[in-house]
Structure 1
Amino acid sequence: MTRRYGAASTTDDVLSGIDLRGKRILVTGVSAGLGVETARALAAHGANIVGAARDLAKAQEITRQARQEAVPAGGSLELTGLDLANLSSVRACANTLLADGRPFDVIIANAGVMATPPGKTADGFETQFGTNHLGHFVFINRLAPLLQDGGRVVMLASSGHRFADVDLDDPGFERTPYEPFVAYGRSKTANILFAVEFDRRHRARGVRATAVHPGGVRTELGRHMSEEHHTALVETINRQLASEGKPPFEFKSVPQGAATSVWAAVVASPEEVGARYCENCHVSDVVADNAVITPVSEGVRRYALDPARAEALWRKSEEMVGESFNPPTL
């Protein structure tokens, strides 16, 4: 009988009894919060983890315990430098891993930024779209030849995708006023659409891609939000929940927030999660683009799973980064 998990499930819950010895998994953003916990949990079950981080010194310190926990299970955790807001760094990191030649079973695109002030990446892209989407777009596509047949890609998306669809005509807010959460929504929708199109392009060799929402977790991702903004947001959510007769909102712990990532990566079946959006350790239902739902309700907007939209974003992304990507030759 298949075990069922939910919003309160932790990484240790979903990985109970799972032996990952021999698996090699890449996780981005292994310098804080969900990335560290994701790497820790997988390594503690025997996986060999490559953790990518912009600040290697910080990552080295914060993963010290995780590396120790990995040893008894036969796992490991090594680190590599990666700045997703700089395509020179992205390409250099990918080239190093390609030269090394060791394959990966899973890539988990965990790193990201949220609600940043107006800004540009090193390559002139809007910060959130450039970091969350374009950085991973180039990185994962360059590493696609290293993905084992039957491998998996997990994109960290968000219920924030409901803030906005991608804008293929004005991705950098050149003609529209910049709004931090609209920009965040666009980048998270892009993460889901990337999974949809990557899955289509690679499923012939058994490689599947999925997107996940970790839930509401207090991590460094919210560094650009003031405490007043956090408080006001929670108050708004609680008023909506109260009107529906539901209990107040509670943040997830970090192990609960990372649970859906590891579930989608190594526990769920590929057919279940491929080209889908997951939250609370299950595949989410599709909701209409105009459906009124609370920020903490489950559901993925139709536009985020639209295959035509996903293909159009892929073409636009290739144009923006100046590279074309095709599936590896079988």
Structure 2
Amino acid sequence: MTKPFGAESTTDDVLAGVYLAGKRILVTGVSAGLGVETARALAAHGAAVVGAARYLGKAHAATRSVRAAAAEGGGSLELVELDLASLASVRSCADGLIADGRPFDVIICNAGVMATPQGKTADGFETQLGTNHLGHFVLVNRIASLLKPGGRLVNLSSAGHRYSDVDLDDPNFERTPYAEFVAYGRSKTANVLFAVEFDRRHKASGIRATAVHPGGIKTELSRHMTQAATEALIRSINEAQQAAGQPPFTYKTIPQGAATSVWAAVVAAADEVGGHYCEDCHVAAIEDAEGIRGGVRPYALDPDRASALWAKSEEMVGERF
């Protein structure tokens, strides 16, 4: 067992005494928030970080702290362009990484959107499922050959997965009334199920996959939410917390929010986290009660559901992996 950490642990706490020289790690979404902090912490401990972002200009400005940490800690940072809402961009990014040929020790699928108005990606997918799941599904599978034996995939999910299971019959809300958080919940459940099936397919070669919930953090992710919607969400979380005998909700800092990502990526034992859902730097318990609270809903870890989502995702993107 690894050293116990918790909800208040930061990236620096988790990585204390860890040196990542020789490790190459891909992190998506490095233009703000958790992605920047994840990249900074890894580079500060010697890792060669490849940061992917939709807008390279924004990412270049946002990652000044990453480059400074890399210079001091012996790591490095390079940026690649990736728009997860466009499969043409995803495939172009993957093709570039394959052509480059350098392997990865870890892929951290950090980028995402939350509670967006109803819309579609460039390929006609519902925005949140298309961006959060299908874009990463294509990217990761196209570059899977670059993952070293012993490598890991870390998918950022959310306690928001508790809003909804995936809907394999109507993934794009063509017959279902659209609701922002139901769509978000579907996409975050998909992130967990993708990790479960990827782990099943690759663990024999020593590659493991896990999903993590970073916690509630004030970042650009919530930019589509009004103040009233945010307050209503926190009220509902506190009701669920009270029902479970847990303390009220508190926001995490960004370094606390990114801690579970780096813990699952380079600190926790592979067998401890592989095929699981993690929160607060530990593997979460299965918790089927309603409401947004700690724990993981059983449907998000269902291996049959994971296999079915994989097949549906292949059908939607027009590629088999």
TM tier relative to shorter chain: over 0.9
- Structure 1, unaligned stretches of length 5 or more? 326-330
Q: Matched residue of 1:78: which SS?
A: strand
How far apart are 1:230 and its partner, in Å? 1.0
Q: In the aligned structure 2, how far is the partner of 1:311 from the partner of 1:244?
A: 32
C-alpha deviations, 1:177-232, integer Å up to 9, x for none? Answer: 00110000000000000000000111111000000000011110001000121122
- Tell me the equivalent position of 1:148: 148
Partner of 2:86: 86
3-state DSSP class of the match of 1:300? coil
Question: Structure 2: which amino acid aligns with 1:314?
Answer: W
Matched ranges for 1:1-330 at <5 A:
2-242=2-242, 246-288=246-288, 291-292=289-290, 294-295=291-292, 297-325=293-321
Q: Specify the SS of the correspondent of 1:186.
A: helix
Cα root mean square deviation, aligned: 1.2
| Structure 2 stretches lacking a partner, 5+ long | none
TM-score between both structures, scaled by the size of structure 1: 0.95
The C-alpha deviation readout for 1:35-81, integer Å capped at 9, x for no partner, is 00000000000000000000110100010121011112210011000
TM-score (norm 2): 0.97
For 1:272 and 1:187, locate their aligned partners in 2 and report how far apart those are by CA, in whole Å. 24
Indicate if the aligned counterparts of 2:94 and 2:143 stay in contact, CA closer than 8 A: yes
Aligned length: 321
Read off the aligned partner of 2:298 and give its amino acid letter: R
Give the deviation of 1:116 after TM superposition.
0.5
- Name the SS for the 1:49 alignment partner: strand
Once the 2 structures are TM-superposed, how far is the Cα of residue 10 of structure 1 from its aligned partner? 0.3
Retained in 1: the 8 A contact 2:2–2:268?
no
Change (3 A) 1:200 1:240: closer
Deviation at 1:246, TM superposition (A): 4.7
Tell me how far apart the structure 2 counterparts of residues 239 and 3 of structure 1 sit (CA, whole Å).
32
In structure 2, relative to structure 1, the CA distance for the partners of 1:308 and 1:248 (3 Å cut) is closer
Question: Residue 121 of structure 1 aligns to a residue in which SS?
Answer: coil
Cα distance between partner residues in 1 of 2:243 and 2:206: 45
User: Per the alignment, do residues 8 and 89 of structure 1 end up closer, same or farther by CA in structure 2, a change over 3 Å counting?
Assistant: same
Q: Secondary structure at the match of 1:287?
A: coil
> One-letter code of the match for 1:208?
R
CA gap of 1:246–1:273, structure 2 versus 1, over 3 A, is closer
> What letter matches 2:304 in structure 1?
A
Query: Equivalent residue for 1:328?
Result: none
Distance 1:242 1:199 in 2: 34
Matched letter for residue 29 of structure 1: G
Of all paired residues, the percent bearing the same amino acid is: 70
Give the drift of 1:247: 3.8
- Cα distance in structure 1, aligned partners of 2:190 and 2:310: 9
Three-state SS of the structure 2 residue aligned to 1:51 is strand
SS at match of 2:181: helix
Deviation of 1:135 after TM superposition, in Å, equals 0.1
